[in-house]
Amino acid sequence: MNTTLENKQDNNQIEQIEKKVKIQKPKKADFRMHAHVNPLNETLFPYPLNYNQVDWSLHYPKKFGKDPLKLYLNTLEYPITYDDQVNPDCSQSIVDFLDIGCGFGGLCFALSENYPDKYIFGMEIRGKVVNFVGEKIRALRDEGQAHNVSVIRTNTMRHLPQYIRKNSLEKIFICFPDPHFKKKNFRRRIVNPGLLSEYAYLLKPSGRIYCITDVEELHNWHVQHLEKHKMFKRIQDVEQDSAAKLIWNSTEEGQKVERNKGSKFIIVCEKV
């Protein structure tokens, strides 16, 4: 056999072996990083100027007949370029459920399984953590799952309305947000009157917002601001809401609180 033929066969064999190898799920230990990023800092990564620049076919490729194993996370490793060249069919609203500060994505994956007809989007400011969630999505997609879930690196306090359109979301989840205990840092909290107006603007009529925390003082803050806000009405029969049940235990922080036998406080409100 001549060497060119041998090389070709070797390459074929390698290709076949590579094809059979399953994409491995990432390990959390390889993706640890600082617990906090200051959300008030200037944004040093790309962001769209408006929602027409968001190409949802990058995030939910199967729906648009594209390669489901390619990742676009807006991180250094999986970058996105935002410009005006997006096909208008791909920039229409698609997200139903939004997880703000999704961390390692536990809730996103639980929602993806429990609501197969909904499109779930996790937003998270820490790049490494986003890479973990993205690589887990890719591994699951390789097994035929998780086509309805996606994640992106962004600072929701600055850029949320540049991704999401008015009256388009069914649910917003804010699970175990950073408490920012010091008074001078209250302005970093992800719930405040201005941001609540923004969340109400993005929710559909009767859309719901869910806030859960293990910090009673922060829960009181959530209750105070949500009950005062004219666009929200508190839901009393939270037990009837299947999504409220999911947020109890499916996020990584929620599981940690459970292991430590801590308390959890929840408030669910509807857009009026």
CB of 231 to ligand SAM, least distance (A): 21
Q: Are 163 and 54 in contact (CB under 8 A)?
A: yes
- The residue range among 96-104, 111-119, 141-149, 226-234 that interacts with ligand SAM, by the rule CB under 6 A, is 96-104
User: Strand order in 265-271's β-sheet?
Assistant: 149-153, 120-124, 97-100, 169-175, 203-213, 265-271, 232-234
For residue 199, give Cα distances in angstroms to 68, 71, 99, 160, 166: 30, 27, 12, 9, 9
Residue 64's identity, in one-letter code, is F
Site for ligand SAM (CB under 6 A): which residue of 131, 253, 264, 269?
253
Q: Could you tell me which of 72, 89, 90 has the C-alpha nearest to residue 81?
A: 72
Q: How many residues bind ligand SAM (CB under 6 A)?
A: 23
E strand segments, 87-237: 97-100, 120-124, 149-153, 169-175, 203-213, 232-234
CB of 107 to ligand SAM, least distance (A): 6
Q: Is 96 in the site for ligand SAM (CB under 6 A)?
A: no
Q: Is 177 in the site for ligand SAM (CB under 6 A)?
A: yes
4 is in an annotated binding site: no
Q: Is 157 in the site for ligand SAM (CB under 6 A)?
A: yes
- The residue range among 59-67, 140-148, 153-161, 191-199 that interacts with ligand SAM, by the rule CB under 6 A, is 153-161
Give how far the C-alpha of residue 120 lies from the chain's centroid of Cα atoms, to the nearest Å: 7
What is the rounded radius of gyration, in angstroms, for the C-alpha atoms of the chain?
20
Find the catalytic residue in 84, 142, 178, 241: 178
C-beta closer to ligand SAM: residue 68 or 101: 101
Q: Is 219 in the site for ligand SAM (CB under 6 A)?
A: no
178 flagged as catalytic: yes
- 64's tokens: 């648009």
- 185's tokens: 């840092």
- The residue range among 12-20, 44-52, 72-80, 249-257 that interacts with ligand SAM, by the rule CB under 6 A, is 249-257
| Catalytic residue annotation | 178
List contacts with ligand SAM (CB under 6 A): 37, 39, 101-103, 106, 123-126, 129, 155-157, 175-178, 190, 251-254
